[in-house]
Chain A
Amino acid sequence: DGGITQSPKYLFRKEGQNVTLSCEQNLNHDAMYWYRQDPGQGLRLIYYSQIVNDFQKGDIAEGYSVSREKKESFPLTVTSAQKNPTAFYLCASSDEPNTEAFFGQGTRLTVV
């Protein structure tokens, strides 16, 4: 089945640790995105990538980092510099910017 796979579904991080969220797609899409969702707030863009080896910061990139070494993969690292990382993280892809976006099932990150 074609789609976007995010793993893990739940992730717990201790204070001061870096953690990496996985996002893989087999839709052959060029563009990929990371969003953060907090209760009562709309989705906010963290990073996006329009093509392999290129990515741009979104509205809330501080404390996060990404890489795009392969077309199908766009991992997100939540660093210790992110002061409030507890949230629901969603990965998405589209054939190209401004076309239909498809989402994964999300990763819920909790700081313990």
Chain B
Amino acid sequence: KQEVTQIPAALSVPEGENLVLNCSFTDSAIYNLQWFRQDPGKGLTSLLLIQSSQREQTSGRLNASLDKSSGRSTLYIAASQPGDSATYLCAVWGSNYQLIWGAGTKLIIKP
């Protein structure tokens, strides 16, 4: 059974720092991997989708990588800003057409 783990559970850094959020999954037979952002009390915003044949995707200050063989993905945030404060969720699409979710990393960027 696919399991997704996100480390760390929480992270607090000063503004301006570059940071990395980690996501690992137990079964390398995934279709795609998606990173989301969730603000308190709000829905989820899709940040990046990495297809299983891709190694990375970039959007602005965000870069996500995927290594299927090792079961890992990272989300790199450059030059962090207070507005980046949110919970970041990683999810993988499995063979049963369902998203399998990590528990998220709560990120706080201190001004």
Contact = CB atoms under 8 A, between A and B. Distances in A.
Interface of A: 6, 31, 33, 40-43, 45, 48, 50, 58, 88, 90, 92, 97-106, 108
A106 B34 CA distance: 19
A105 B88 CA distance: 16
A6 B49 CA distance: 23
A45 B46 CA distance: 17
A42 B104 contact: yes
User: Could you say which of A43, A97, A99, A100 has the most chain B C-beta atoms within 10 Å of its C-beta?
Assistant: A43
A103 B42 CA distance: 10
A5 to B, nearest CB: 11
Contacts of B62: none
Interface of B: 4, 31-32, 34, 36, 41-46, 49, 89, 91, 93, 97-99, 101-104
Nearest to A40: B103
B41 A100 contact: no
A100 B54 CA distance: 14
A43 B45 CA distance: 14
B104 A98 contact: no
B42 A105 contact: yes
Given A105-B43, A108-B41, A98 B32 contact: yes
Given A98-B31, A98-B32, A106 B43 contact: yes
Contacts of B91: 43, 101
11 contacts: A33-B99, A40-B103, A42-B102, A42-B104, A48-B97, A48-B98, A97-B93, A100-B34, A101-B46, A106-B41, A106-B43
